[in-house]
Structure 1
């Protein structure tokens, strides 16, 4: 029988329960043991797995300790990749933060997750199984289950949660935040749109294009409150920061992906921005209003709207997004959107001839790419001929389309499907991510209709665009496009620039 000086309680601790208070009191009864709360994923928030930021979790634990009469230490533990040394990493984090070297001779580990408990048992620590205790007459709900009740709008969560959590959640309006994040249809568990995206290459590509994107929109930017939604790593805002005419403006970046948001915050901390009024938020606009109505002068979106279309409910989600922007735009303010778009006649049947001699031509597409690592996927897709790559694209594309082979190197299909393939076929670094996205969901005229429905007026500067570099360097060398009767066709528009204004009298 050990003399308990410490109870190590590892976990995410987004929500504390009344059962935990009762259990910890029994565990520490008579010994005056200190509860060491190892708060894991402390550097994550605004994701489904981690909807509450660390500093709010810490506040609730401290209040829990005060109300419960328990002596506590709260230690943040940053997220790591899954590892069998999780217990050792946690113990080292505690030692660095507090100077305490917890040992099996003086510490009991309170843990209800069998896989985690085994890692501590392997080091010799005795385990208190908390909600998993077989001696309990009734199995209590775990904190995460109570949190899911909250997210579902079930008010019985208040009967199970500890008053400290209820108090902090209400004071800081976390109930709505948790519901929004957990129920978000777009954002993944780790705060991104897709788990297969290589954010390093994404950041590099966006940074390379930032000068061109900013040059195309600068003349339409209205000074004041300028918001870049889907700001990536903040490359465009860096250019806005250098504009003398915008030095009195607020520059605000909104990014949903945790990796990119973290890079924005890092840049600001390193002094990249000269304007003192630069701010970043990790948010998803579809989850609810971020800015007050009529409060934003310019909203910028670059290469974002096709993602909203692809990961949401297509036109419904895009219209919802447009209405959100309209609501927060000041009268006379502007939304500038630069993105891909579909051809004017997306449903038109065409013949597409593709090079078949520029790579391998297997008998059929692979169906197991999701089991490979990113390097293997890149190597395999890169090895395919353009014609064979179409077969693989059709197998992986999240928006099914049909095509008919007409000879060894020619297929009959709709123009929109042809352009979705041709504009995506070279994205081998993020193949499984890119094949979840549709570039040609809306044509320019369909965009104009959607914006009018949201309340915007289309500026004369708005226009469909054909990216000649992509045509000349990526498409034309390996493909030809004709009508079904063999008449050659021009390559259609691939992008758009939209300058949408909220009427001054609205």
Structure 2
């Protein structure tokens, strides 16, 4: 009676349509997996577009179909059972081995259904085929690579939907993006729950620091996280007629924004969220945005991209979409004014363990094990571990048991990161001190922005007094104390009205 066809179904092929014709008389149940994922390398097409193509293929092929979204879950050996239960809840269909054949070309997935007693139709994996047809994902990779022969293999239903909704370039951007991970995000090791909590706690402080510079109109928060800052902008009476737009690359955070909007958190009807990577191409029309906000974002572009080149490209995108008289407000970490200066850094050896050598294998441990191990180290020993895990050069020369000779920027990169234990492997992929305030001033002018006089470097004295100074001391090479340098910056960059 039924043919269950599980898969991501981002692209449908002519072979699939012909194969399904061989099962005429069966109702096809398309179980679309990862239905809650989109705009990622593994899942570039949103579910509703996949559904539209399936429905169109069904009409063109004369198939009776039911389409069911299957939301992504943690890997489980009960995947087949979960899919069957989801189908039952969504449609009322009770699919059993007696009334259903499972169409599946992935041996590992087919085995899960075989274990439950279902007969399998192997589709592209059928050994009886005279030659192996290309799988849908391989055809999609042709598209992503710019190989137009994908159109010869894709079903007309997919071609039609991709062209009508301009998905060809969207797929190419998502699959080829050098920064975004397979599941949408810059890093696969970040604990987003901790990240959201930390940003939400600091949102009011951040908003109060920048509110005076915000120009009403079209206000865009790039890297908006879970939307905490836009929640505060939403409460501003002077901005009630402004458009509030959040752009977030990480799927987990974008979904939280959409959830908040659906729950009625925002009063302004003109609040929108996009899951996009600004480096992947223009999101907004030139000269169309009055205020752009970025918080704790630019160091990630620097770290996960090609450093200055990627950051300059990002700034250029912002400049292009900023309206004459508009403003970009950027708050982020910042390196010291004299980054290459050599200093002596004394670190406590009495506040934890001091193993003979750092571990090279943290990537193979769970986040809880990493947190426990790094947290057990002394501040001095933690520097050795940081040097192993840090994605950038971290060179220093030991001078006694508790002191090292080190460049100031490298010292501050470690000291400002040493307590991020719950996201250790993510944080050690990022460089905080890649640019000084002077470097920022030069880069903004190079692109065309005017730096507002209110822009300035900032030293987070709370972090210095509570996290760094109790376990570390900084001196010059002759032993004289050195003042702790700036740790952050606020840059208010304006586009001239004649620009």
Cα distance, 1:211 vs structure 2: 0.9
Aligned-partner Cα distance in 2 for 1:273–1:65: 39
Counterpart for residue 17 of structure 1? 13
Q: In the alignment, is residue 7 of structure 1 matched against residue 3 of structure 2? A: yes
Counterpart for residue 222 of structure 2? 229
Q: In the alignment, is residue 356 of structure 1 matched against residue 345 of structure 2? A: no
- Structure 1: runs of 5 or more not aligned: none
Counterpart for residue 330 of structure 2? 337
Aligned-partner Cα distance in 2 for 1:253–1:468: 30
Counterpart for residue 276 of structure 1? 269
Aligned-partner Cα distance in 2 for 1:203–1:497: 21
Counterpart for residue 443 of structure 2? 450
Per-residue CA distance 1:463-495 (angstroms, 9 max, x = gap): 011111111111111111111121211011100
Tell me how large the CA RMSD over aligned residues is. Answer: 0.7
Counterpart for residue 425 of structure 1? 418
- Equivalent in 457, 463, 467 of residue 464 of structure 1: 457
Aligned-partner Cα distance in 1 for 2:318–2:424: 31
Cα distance, 1:135 vs structure 2: 1.1
Aligned-partner Cα distance in 1 for 2:131–2:56: 27
Query: SS at the partner of 2:356?
Result: coil
Cα distance, 1:120 vs structure 2: 0.3
- Equivalent in 72, 80, 99 of residue 73 of structure 2: 80
Q: For 1:346-425, list aligned pairs within 5 A.
A: 346-425=339-418
Per-residue CA distance 1:131-153 (angstroms, 9 max, x = gap): 11111111111000000110011
Q: For 1:64-463, list aligned pairs within 5 A.
A: 64-463=57-456
Aligned-partner Cα distance in 2 for 1:494–1:171: 48
Per-residue CA distance 1:332-382 (angstroms, 9 max, x = gap): 100000000110111111110001101100011111111111111111111
Cα distance, 1:71 vs structure 2: 1.1
Cα distance, 1:172 vs structure 2: 0.1
Cα distance, 1:272 vs structure 2: 1.1
Aligned-partner Cα distance in 1 for 2:65–2:298: 47
Aligned-partner Cα distance in 2 for 1:470–1:442: 20
Aligned-partner Cα distance in 1 for 2:121–2:382: 55
Aligned-partner Cα distance in 1 for 2:149–2:203: 49
Cα distance, 1:296 vs structure 2: 0.3
Cα distance, 1:262 vs structure 2: 1.1
Aligned-partner Cα distance in 2 for 1:147–1:485: 62
- Structure 2: runs of 5 or more not aligned: none
Aligned-partner Cα distance in 1 for 2:359–2:230: 41
Aligned-partner Cα distance in 2 for 1:442–1:343: 8
Aligned-partner Cα distance in 2 for 1:313–1:357: 39
Aligned-partner Cα distance in 2 for 1:184–1:474: 37
TM-score, with length taken from structure 1 = 0.98
TM-score, with length taken from structure 2 = 0.99
Per-residue CA distance 1:108-137 (angstroms, 9 max, x = gap): 111000000000000111111111111111
Aligned-partner Cα distance in 1 for 2:198–2:159: 44
Cα distance, 1:411 vs structure 2: 0.4
How many residues are treated as equivalent by the alignment? 499
Cα distance, 1:220 vs structure 2: 0.4
Q: For 1:37-56, list aligned pairs within 5 A.
A: 37-56=30-49
Cα distance, 1:407 vs structure 2: 0.2
Cα distance, 1:279 vs structure 2: 0.9
Per-residue CA distance 1:165-188 (angstroms, 9 max, x = gap): 000000000000000111111111
Aligned-partner Cα distance in 1 for 2:126–2:96: 22
Query: SS at the partner of 1:489?
Result: coil
Aligned-partner Cα distance in 2 for 1:476–1:82: 44
Query: SS at the partner of 1:73?
Result: strand
Aligned-partner Cα distance in 2 for 1:282–1:295: 19
